[in-house]
Amino acid sequence: MHCSRRSYCDRYAIYHTFFMVMCAIILRRNSKTKGRGDSVIN
């Protein structure tokens, strides 16, 4: 997938990766505290 605005695409990719990492960390913390992390659907 080619983008004309490379800076915008790179920024979007970084934000997307950061968001996914944060979601994974939050889901892990919730699964440790509540024990229902597996029931959460992405």
pTM of the model: 0.49
Predicted confidence at residue 10, as pLDDT, reads 86
Predicted confidence at residue 41, as pLDDT, reads 56
The verdict on residue 39 lying in a domain is: no
Phi, psi of 12 (to 5 degrees): -65, -40
Ranges of the chain whose pLDDT falls below 50: none
Tell me the residue range of the domain where 24 lies.
6-34
The verdict on residue 21 lying in a domain is: yes
The verdict on residue 26 lying in a domain is: yes
The verdict on residue 1 lying in a domain is: no
The verdict on residue 40 lying in a domain is: no
Tell me the torsion sign for CA atoms 27, 28, 31, 34.
Answer: negative
Number of domains the chain contains: 1
Q: Containing H/E element for 39?
A: none
In degrees, rounded to 5, the angle at the alpha carbon of residue 27 between the alpha carbons of residues 18 and 30 is 140
The verdict on residue 29 lying in a domain is: yes
Measured distance CA(38)–CA(31) in Å, rounded: 7
